[in-house]
Structure 1
Amino acid sequence: MLEIKYGLIYKLAIRNQQSAKIADLKMMKSLTASRQGIPFTIYIFLILLFSLSLKAQDIHFTQYYNGPLNVNPALTGFFKGSQRFTLQNKTQWRSVTTPFQTIAASFDMPVIKRFIKRDIFGGGVAVFRDQAGDSKFGTTQINFSFSYIKPLSRISKQFVSFGIQAGVAQRTIDYSKLIFDNQYDGSAFNSGLDNNEQFAKNNFVFLDLSAGASWYCIVQKNFVINAGAAMFHINMPKQSMFGNNNIRLDPKLVLHGGTQLGISNKFQLIPSLMFMKQGAYSEFNIGSLAKFIKVPNGGKYMALSLGMFYRYGDALNFVAGMDYKDIFAGLNYDVNLSKLLPASNAKGGLELSLVYIINKNKRSYIRKIPCPIF
């Protein structure tokens, strides 16, 4: 099974925290593609550089604020409106290797259960599909989220919410796309040679549990602030294709916060930040959107958003978005600044997001629920 581990790591160098390894991977693939050949002992040495561990990393989006159920279960149903639909799609590492693709969608809504005390219960469902590298290493997951939103005063200037999330996920891999040392013919790799490996299975399924809490405060009419914390993968599900019970998915801590500052009726600043830590890896995002608002005589809400975010040690993100009535569309491009820069030529990922909020109960208490800005 030693060759299997090396082969997996050779083809599946995962995500931003391992970007330097991906750069080395591109160099190795170029050497083998040129068919100039490298000594077998040197090849094994290079492979060992990748053999420390293979840990599954969670998906991430630059426009994390447009996928609230993936940030914190406590944000389920926490918005102005009756129903919310979101869709996100991200492509990254196209300039380095086979592109990594991530698509996510969600639906959630608030439900009034105790009108007198104005407590709100929220429910929602989120799904995503992530596919990484030549081996088509993929994750498909569906999560069900539930939240309880509590106003801290009758005039509803402060809210706290608590949420839980339970999901089922499947990981898959295409072994036919992997390269093993048995396919080395003495001068280069030969894809026509049998890898002589016996694989136990090419997929597994696991249960995933998460929870979180958030706080929202309307300081004054044009100034709001919010913060939250969540813990994902509380149950540390098993993550082995070969029945190794010691390989588990590390819990992920998420801390997020932000403000919405109305400079005027036509201009808002929306700074936000998010910190994530999972095992030995961490990610810190900080930035701001500037929103330019226009309400024509017809009364249809329109706004243009422009902004920039920085993912510490990894990328600079340029963001643009457009609001029209109850629909928001956002687009961003990530400029890579990590150790992968020589291989990526500063090219990172392109991401698109859509948010649609339906307002059926325009006169009900639901309309008074604030919409957190991270």
Structure 2
Amino acid sequence: MKINSTLYALLFLIGLGILAPITLSAQDAHFSQFYSSPLQMNPALTGVFPGEYRFTANYRTQNYAVLGNQAYKSIAASFEGRRPVGRDDYYSLGIAILRDQVGESQFSQSRAVLSGSYLKHIGSGRSRGSGQFLIGGAQLGIAQWSYDWNDLWFTEQFEVMPGSQTAFINFASSNGEALSMMETDLFMEFNAGVLYYNVIDEDNSFYLGGALHHLTEPNVSFLDDQSEMLHSRWVGQAGGQVSLTREASLLPAIAVMGQGPSFLGIGGMNLRYSNRDWREVAIRAGLWGRVANQGESGMGLDAMVVSAILEVERWQFGLSYDVTVSDLSTANNSRGAFELSLIYVHPSKDRFKVICPKF
């Protein structure tokens, strides 16, 4: 009965997020495998893993069918470690970097942050390996936006040859724009988040968390005499693990985020099968749905995401593909995004293993 209640609660949260009536679209870079990019989602996820340290890497390319070599490319990586405070509490420190680039202008966002969290044990369960934690986390770092307008052309550079109907773009002529900077000043990043999780037993758990990014709302204008504030971004997440048999379990999850006039939500689940050996090998397969702004038509289903993950002892390899189902599918033949993830967790030498949920 306890397991069924956990499953119903998780499915309710996922359905609520997918059907939320918010008519917005996302701005910051995001990953469909959000469960495999923890420090990009929530600073409170720093240190939430069953080992001594963790390395994570993510790569995403989007809309290659439309933009070719100028397609969206997002690369992220993080490294974190954890140390005990007494027997049951922990503090964690790490670093996370991200670079996102798109288009002929090579517009890019780059940032690097130091990440820290404190894991507070707030209760133990009846079964071995169970427990509850409340975590607070924060990130502090620097970021910069940049682009290259030399490969762009503007209306003032569009010319027609005299006595001819032939038109061309004169890149040598003035573009008529007040462009003087190809990059913004370095600005500070400050993010904060919280997370609660409850590990009921070895194969059943749930978690709930939220975060705020860009709390300082820095100026990201490319013009010296103007101000363009970067909106704060909020993130909400929920998920867990529900056992079906000794070898199989479901890992449902949802993530929603909003930034100024923008919104994105993704939810679904992975089916996990493990050999339950001391050298554990597990595979996952999943289906996810992403909702976002559809322009004037409002909120709608943007893409379906299929995922596959291989776990081999300390390593986890993830692969996913976004199948576009919005109006953009006419232009890209439903070929959306391709994504890879890699996670390495080094086992701890401590006698007591940290209790963590599976993501």
- Which category describes the TM-score, using the shorter chain as reference length? 0.7 to 0.9
- Any idea what SS the aligned residue of 1:300 has? coil
Q: Deviations over 1:296-347 (max 9, x none)?
A: 5xx3110111001000121100101100011000000101112212111111
Residues 59 and 74, structure 2, Cα contact 8 Å, conserved in 1: yes
Structure 1, unpaired ranges of 5+: 1-54
Per the alignment, residue 303 of structure 1 pairs with 282
Superposed CA RMSD: 1.8
Match of residue 203 from structure 1: 183
* Alignment of 1:75 onto 2:45: yes
Matched, 1:162 2:162: no
Aligned to 2:16: none
How many Å separate the matches in 2 of 1:134 and 1:201?
17
Pick from 315, 333, 336: which aligns with 1:348?
A: 336
Query: Matched residues in 2 for 1:268 and 1:112: separation?
Result: 30
Deviates more, 1:252-261 or 1:211-220: 211-220
Give 1:273's aligned residue: 254
Q: % of aligned pairs identical?
A: 31
- CA–CA separation in structure 2 for the residues paired with 1:154 and 1:342: 53
- Rounded to whole Å, the distance in 2 between the matches of 1:127 and 1:177 is 27
Q: Indicate the larger mover: 179-188 or 316-325.
A: 179-188
Q: Is the 8 A contact 1:217 1:224 kept in 2?
A: yes
| Residues 102-147 of structure 1: CA deviation (Å, up to 9, x unaligned) | 11000111111333xx221111100011111111001111011110
Task: Write the letter of the residue equivalent to 1:109.
Answer: G
Mean alpha-carbon deviation: is it higher for 334-343 or for 284-293? 334-343
Code of the residue aligned with 1:167 in structure 2: it is: G
Q: Which of 101, 119, 135 is 1:131 aligned to?
A: 101
Residues 319 and 93 (structure 1), Cα distance of their counterparts in 2 relative to 1, 3 Å cut: same
Residues 1:113 and 2:85 are matched in the alignment: yes
**Could you tell me the TM-score, scaled by structure 2's length?**
0.83
Tell me if 1:62 matches 2:32. Answer: yes
Partners of 1:112 and 1:330 in 2: CA distance: 30
- Tell me what 1:241 maps to: 222
Deviation per CA, 1:157-185: give whole Å up to 9, x if none. 11100001112011111111111012211
Instruction: Give unpaired runs (5+ residues) of structure 2.
Output: 1-24, 161-165, 292-300
Structure 1 residue aligned with 2:307: 319
Specify the code of the residue in structure 2 equivalent to 1:215. Y
What's the CA shift for 1:208?
A: 1.0
1:334 aligned onto 2:308: no
Distance 1:73 1:128 in 2: 14
Q: Which residue of the other structure, out of 78, 97, 101, is the alignment partner of 2:73? A: 101
Aligned-partner Cα distance in 1 for 2:357–2:203: 13
Higher strand share: 2
Deviations 1:17-46 (A, max 9, x none): xxxxxxxxxxxxxxxxxxxxxxxxxxxxxx
Does structure 2 retain, via aligned residues, the 8 Å contact 1:226–1:372?
no
Deviation of the 1:192 alpha carbon:
4.1
- CA 1:246 to 1:287, structure 2 compared with 1: closer, same or farther past 3 Å? same
Contact 1:137 1:174 in 2 (8 A): yes
Partner of 1:5: none
What is the aligned partner in structure 2 of residue 50 from structure 1?
Answer: none
Contact 1:216–1:224 (CA under 8 A) maintained in structure 2: yes
Number of positions where the alignment pairs a residue of Structure 1 with one of Structure 2: 313
Cα pair 2:153 2:171 within 8 Å, conserved = no
- Give yes or no for contact 1:252–1:279 (8 Å, CA) kept in 2: yes
What does residue 368 of structure 1 align with?
354
SS in 1 for 2:150: helix
1:249 alignment partner, SS class: coil
Q: Structure with the greater relative contact order (CA < 8 A, sep ≥ 6): 1 or 2?
A: 2
Asked if structure 2 preserves the Cα contact closer than 8 Å seen for 1:78 and 1:372, the reply is: no
Query: What TM-score does the superposition give when structure 1 sets the normalisation length?
Result: 0.80
